[in-house]
Structure formats: structure tokens, C-alpha cells
Structure 1
């Protein structure tokens, strides 16, 4: 699971969004270092924007958040906090050891997938709800940004990071992980995934229960994944 990694944010968020919806006139972020690559590419491609009178990006404090950033308390309440509460319970009860790399890998594997389910549901709900005085995000988005951009202008993260280093003379952290893949072969990983799926074929149910303060199914699933992984490495 990436930890606020520049390459991951660019590759998994900025690049696909721009390719799907078009070039933003302006990107707004806080002062976190994890956005350096995204801001670099936004500025590099600033001549491809529709409205070039605005600055390509803004870095502002949390007190000047844009209205859409008000979604983050909902992300915490409906995704992050329920799963974090369950994990802290397992740690406090000494049922998992977060200093163990295999355990960290399993926590990352399962929790990341559940967060993705939760975020997808939350974003779909947000985009369909009406903002007073503004309208519905899905309707406001329309066909996306007025200015589209060719895929060739948005290299994948590794190439973009190389370009960043060449032009700015500084390097970015290429890989930030939380737990190391313990499997020696791809077949071992597939075996664990299949065995886990026999017990938990629909992990979305784990998220649904956890977000409603029923943490037991998620805890049991995580312990099952850890045990299954330990038996196959």
C-alpha cells in the first residue's frame, strides 16, 4: 500500500482523471510534499489548459479549502475511522503484530481493498447529491473540462519522475510501501487469494458491516488472511 507517494498519486489519481475528463485550468492542493509530481506535470502542461489566465495550481492551507474538500470529513467518518478502529482493537488486544512485515502486508492488502470499496461508494453518492446554489456534481461535470489532452503528453509515473529529476535536479521517492510482498512465486499468491475467497467471496460485506460499527467480520477476515498467508510462504 503506497504511503502518500508522489508517483502513486500522479499515476492513480491525476493522470487517469485528466485523460478521462480533460485538462484542469487549476489544481488545488495543500502544502504536502506528496503532490510535487502532480504539480510539476500540471505546470509543464499549463499551455494546454482552456483558461490560461489562472495560475496552473494553488497550494493553500486547510482554512482555505475548496468546497469539494469538505468531502474529507465524510471520507474519514465513513471509510477511514471505522477500519482504523477495528485495526486498533486488534493491536490493543495483541491479536496482530504490526512490526511483522507479513502482517503489515496482509493489513495493507485487505484494508486497501475495503477502502477502495468505501471510497467508490462515497464518491458516487457525493457526485449524485445536490449542492445548494451549485447543482449536482454529475450534472456540473457535463462532458468534463473544455480542453482535452492526448495520452502521449501524460507519461506514466516512472517516466514523469525521470522528467522531474532532469528538469528540477531533485529526485522523488519511487516506492513507499507498508509491508513487503512475502510470496516467492505468483502461484503462492494466487493460492492464498483463492483460499481466502472460499471463506470471503464478497469482501464488500466486510466494509458494510464495519462502517456500521460491526467490526467482528473484518477482524476475522484479516486474521484468516494472515493465517492463510503464513501457511503458504
Structure 2
């Protein structure tokens, strides 16, 4: 387009220069456009005024919907359930309820508010920040109200040093990458946290790509393919079905898992679209970022335990028997810590991914609002997947770790192993939570007693 000069001459528009309200010409006069563009607001008002009243759309919740919302809310139905039933947003339901002068029933405060917050702080450890601790309170105590300000004030009062320390390392967390998945189990990202693998402690994690919910967290004593499949992946697939695609890094421990995914897809005649399993680099696996949560909230107390035992000359990673005993005794405690992390993560609110609006929220709720469209593939029932893998690849799978022969003197005596396990369980006690809280509090007497009993 061009613009007009004072002498009515039309000149070409120079897009390389920024337009100004008035630009001097060569003759010294000033160029002025003959009209100004109307703003979007003024245009909208003109269009609305020009429309006849008969074409004005009626608001969808001016009558029937508003009365239905008020009736359901008065009957005790939640705003989320009302929004799903009426086909509108939760925010709109809240607006209708507020206009009607109604208020949602508030949950009561716990009569021992401070004591419960302190108990959860001791049970979860100092590396749980406010959001994660609030998620734990909502998960374990759902019938009570937990105001954010009071929880923060209690955390500051009980342990101000840990509160300030979390503010420092929380700013250095790995930034969330851009990733999109339209529904639950569109993709499942799996990885192992191996920060203390020299003591045969592994943490397997599975995270949904859409809702970012943690689907599985399991403590393992080795990372053989058959262990990862039978103790970690198969229980998830039996409960939730197979995801559309499983994403792992390029480790050898995932080969039986990948074989099972491709076999199930072939039986369901779904080969040809997205791969049922995809190997990728660790940088492109979103669950890799969740390993930070495992390291800080579960493995950090275990690392302190290892350091204390090494200082006392009770544990050395060069002694196979000691490492084997430590791994088996600490595994149920690590699993308890992972269970706490699992529930807290899925119940706390997660911020949206950068560049992906609408991806934030509580994972447990997002699983309900973004369901799988259906017709998921399933693992074949009654099939020995390890035997099929060995027959197809002509390669035997190791079922016993290499170090077991040198580390387990009772390998050929199952009865003696059962007696030893019973003695260790009697020392640890039926309450694994109490033993875990002692590890958090750096009280290692009970654990060391159980460890020395295992060594005999």
C-alpha cells in the first residue's frame, strides 16, 4: 500500500522504516493519512449496535442452566461434577453460585493442625517444599482443610534453616521442556534413578506424558531386564493397560520391556502407526527431570546413612557381602519413601509447561479430565514373556545377578534365608514408616542392628 503526500502524489510505502504519525517530505511539508483505523473495541461496538435485537444470542446459562447449577450445588454436588454435567467450565459454575449468594461448604480445620503438619514434615523429610508437603497433607488427610498460609508459617517455625535451604536449591532445578500429549497414556516415560547404584539401589519411575502423573515408583536391587519387566513394568500394564507408546533411554535393561510392547501391538494388529516403544536419549525423556525429586527426597537420606556407616567401617562398596546385605535391608525403606513421594506428587499442583498453556494442574485431576479414548492394547494373559524373548532372540536372559554367587553364602539354603529374613523383619518391626522416620532423623541404630543381623 502507499500513502498520500501534501501534493496529492502517491508514493510507495517503505516497510524498512517504522511508520510515524507524521513524516516530513522532501519539500518540507508533512504527510498525514486521510483517516485513522478504528480500534477493535470501537469496531465491535459498531457491529453490535448494527445487529437487530432478534438476532441477539441468548446466554446459555441465563435460565435453565443457572437454575440447574444452583439446584445441583444445593444438593451437595461439587463444582467440577456440575461443570462436567452441564458442559461448561468450573469457573462459570462458580460465578453462577456466587451470583446466587451461595458458598461452598468449607472443610473443617484439623483440631491438631500443628501436630499433623509437624508429623508429615518428620515423615517426609526436610527436602519436601511447601507444594509437595501440601500435596501430602491433601492426600493423607483429605477430610480436612489445610490453608496455605498456615502451612507455610508452620514450616518456617519448625525448621527455618531447611526452609531457606530449599529456596536456594529450588531455583536451580532443571527447567521444564516443551512437550505435548493429548490424553492419558498417549506416552509413558520410564527411567531409572541410579545415584547410588554401587550399593545396588535403583529407583524405577514411570511418568505419563500428558497429565505428568507418576504411574509407578519401585525400588529395585538390580536392573536386569527380567527384574525391570516383572517387578516394575508388568504390574503397571496389568492395572492401566499398555500405553500408546513407551519412551525409554537406550539402556540394555529395557530390551524385554520393548519386546513385550511390540509383541502386544502385533497381536492387536496395531503396527504401522506410532511405534509402541521408542528409544531416545536421556535429554529427551521427560521423566529424567523427575529423577531430581527422587534424589532429593528419597535417596539423599539414604546417602547420609551410607556415609555414616562408611565412617564407622561397617560398609564398603568393595565388599560384595556388605553391599548385598545393605541393598536387601534398605529396599523396603526406600520403597516406603517412594510411596510417600508418589502420593504427594500426584496430589500437588504442577505449573504449566513453558510454551504449553493448559498443561498445569493436579495430576490426579488431570487423569480424570484427560482420559484415554479407549481400545488400549493389553499384555497377553498367561504368557511367559521372558521365555518368548529367549525363543525369539536365541539369547538367554540372566535371572540371577552376577554378584549373587560371591555375596550370598546361603544361596543354596532357602530355609536359612527365610529364617534370616524373619529375624531382620522382627528388628525393623511392622511399622516401616517409623523406621523410615528414624533414617530421616539420622537415627541409624535400628537399621544397623538389622544390617548386622543379616550379615550374621
Maintained 8 Å contact 2:428/2:435: no
Maintained 8 Å contact 2:325/2:455: no
Q: Which moved more, 1:136-145 or 1:83-92?
A: 136-145
Q: TM-score, normalised by structure 2?
A: 0.43
User: SS of 1:45's equivalent?
Assistant: helix
2:282 is aligned with 1:62? yes
Q: Which moved more, 1:84-93 or 1:143-152?
A: 143-152
Question: Between Structure 1 and Structure 2, which shows a larger proportion of helix residues?
Answer: 1
1:191-217 per-residue CA deviation (whole Å, 9 max, x = no partner) reads 663565256442322323434xx3233
2:233 is aligned with 1:14? yes
Maintained 8 Å contact 1:91/1:98: no
**Which runs of structure 2 are paired with 1:127-146 in the superposition (5 Å)?**
127-132=346-351, 133-134=358-359, 135-142=361-368, 146=374
Residue 207 of structure 1, aligned match among 436, 440, 452: 436
Maintained 8 Å contact 1:23/1:49: no
Cα–Cα, structure 1 residues 136 and 36, in superposed 2: closer, same or farther, change >3 Å?
A: same
**Which runs of structure 2 are paired with 1:139-178 in the superposition (5 Å)?**
139-142=365-368, 146-148=374-376, 152-153=380-381, 155=383, 159-176=384-401
1:33-90 per-residue CA deviation (whole Å, 9 max, x = no partner) reads 1011001110111143889731111211122122x44221100111122202311331
2:438 is aligned with 1:216? no
2:343 is aligned with 1:115? no
Q: Which residue in the other structure is 1:182 paired with?
A: 410
User: SS of 1:58's equivalent?
Assistant: strand
Q: Which residue in the other structure is 1:226 paired with?
A: 451
Maintained 8 Å contact 2:282/2:288: no
Corresponding pairs, count: 223
Structure 1: runs of 5 or more not aligned: none
Cα distance in 1 for residues equivalent to 2:397 and 2:414: 29
Structure 2: runs of 5 or more not aligned: 1-219, 352-357
Bigger relative contact order, structure 1 or 2 (CA pairs below 8 A, ≥6 apart): 1
Maintained 8 Å contact 1:7/1:174: yes
Once superposed, what is the RMSD of the aligned Cα atoms?
3.0
C-alpha deviation, 1:115, in angstroms: 0.9
1:75-114 per-residue CA deviation (whole Å, 9 max, x = no partner) reads 0111122202311331233123445554333312221111
C-alpha deviation, 1:161, in angstroms: 1.8
